[in-house]
Structure 1
Amino acid sequence: MKIYVDADACPVKDIIISEGTNAEIPIILVTSFSHFSNAEQPSGVETIYVDTGADAADYRIMKLAERGDIIVTQDYGLASLGLAKGCTVLHHKGFPYTNENIDQLLQTRYLSAMARKSGKRTKGPRPFTSEDKEKFRGAFKKAISDEK
C-alpha cells in the first residue's frame, strides 16, 4: 500500500506525513513545478513534480496508484477515478469518497460550473477549520488501519 497526495493545495500534508511515516507506508506527494521546494522530506516521503497543466497531477496519480492504495484529494474527478481503481479516497476535510456519494458530488460540481458559466454567482467552499483538520486525522488513521 502507498499513499498518494494531490499536493498542490493540500492543507493536511503534515498529518499525512506524520501518520503515514509512523505507519511505515510510502507517501508520494504529486505537485506541479510551480510549487517546487527544496525542503527536505522525511524518509519514506517522495515528491513527484509534474507540469503545471490542468489535471497533470491527477493523471500521474492515476498512472501510479493501484488497488488498495490511499489517495488524498479535493478533486471529485480524481476521486471518481481512484474509486473505480479500487483505492480508498479521502477529502482533506475528512470525509471519504464512496461509490454512494461520488455521483452526487460530481453532479453538484457540474451544476455549479453551469451556473457560473451562465453568469450566476455560486458559493465557494467553507473555510478550512481546525475541526476539519482533526476530522481528517481520524478518517486518515481509520483508512490506514482498514487497508493494513
Structure 2
Amino acid sequence: MKILVDADACPGRDVIEKAAKENNIKVIMICDLNHSLHSDYSEVVYVDSGFQSVDMHLINICEKQDIVVTQDFGVAAMALGKKAFAIGPKGYIYDEENIDRLLFERHLSQKVRRGGGRTSSIKKRSTEDDYRLYKNLIFLIEKENK
C-alpha cells in the first residue's frame, strides 16, 4: 500500500503525511512542472505540464489497495476501477456507491457552465476538513490491514 496524491491543487498535504508517517506508509506526491513542492517525508514526482499529465501518471502507477487522494472524480473513478481506495482532500471517501452520482453531478454542472450559467462556489477549507481527512485516511489504512 502507498498513498498517491494528485498534488497540483491538494490542500491537506501535512495531514496526509501525518497519517502516513504514523503507519509507515510511502507517499508519492505527483505534480506538474509548474508547481514546486518540498517534503521531508514524501517522494515528489514531477511530470510534464500537459493536459491531465498528472492524472495519467498517477493512474499508471496506481495499484490495488493503494490510496489515491484527489478532488477529481474522474481520477477517483479510475482508481476505484483498479481496486484502489479514493478519497478527496476534504476527507470524503469515494466508493462504488457514490462515484456514479458524483460523475453525473459533475457532468450536469459542466453543462450549466457551458450554457453560461453559474454553479456554486467551493467552500473554504476548515479544520473539520482536516480532521475528516485524517480520520478517513486512518480508516482506509486500517481497512487494508485487516
Fold match by TM threshold 0.5: yes
**Distance change in 2, residues 1:13/1:40 (3 Å):** closer
| Residue of structure 1 equivalent to 2:62 | 65
Structure 2 equivalent of residue 11 of structure 1: 11
1:97 is matched with which residue: 89, 94, 98? 94
Map of 1:41 onto structure 2: 40
Q: After TM superposition, give the deviation of residue 65 of structure 1 in Å.
A: 0.7
State the match for 1:55 in structure 2. 52
What is the number of equivalent residue pairs in this alignment? 145
Structure 2 residue runs without a partner (length 5+)? none
- Secondary structure of 2:9's match? coil
The one of 78, 81, 87 equivalent to 2:78 is 81
SS at match of 2:30: strand
Task: Give me the whole-angstrom Cα distance separating, in 2, the residues matched to 1:99 and 1:19.
Answer: 24
The residue type equivalent to 2:30 in the other structure is V
Give CA-to-partner distance per residue, 1:64-99, whole Å, 9 cap, x none: 010011100000000000001000100111111011
1:21 and 2:25 matched: no
TM-superposition CA deviations, 1:3-39 (whole Å, max 9, x none): 10001111111011111022111110001111124x3
Distance 1:125 1:74 in 2: 12
The TM-score, its normalising length taken from structure 2, stands at: 0.95
Residue 129 (structure 1) aligns with: 126
Q: Return the alpha-carbon distance in structure 2 between the equivalents of residues 134 and 78 of structure 1.
A: 23
**Hey, what's the Cα distance between the residues in 1 that align with 2:86 and 2:33?**
24
SS in 1 for 2:29: strand
Identity of aligned residues (%): 36
Q: Report Cα offsets for 1:99-121 as digits up to 9, x if no partner.
A: 11001100110110011001111
Query: 1:48: Cα distance to partner?
Result: 0.6
1:40 Cα shift?
4.6
- What is the distance in 2 between the residues matched to 1:74 and 1:84? 16
Determine helix, strand or coil for the equivalent of 1:136.
helix
CA RMSD of aligned residues (A): 1.1
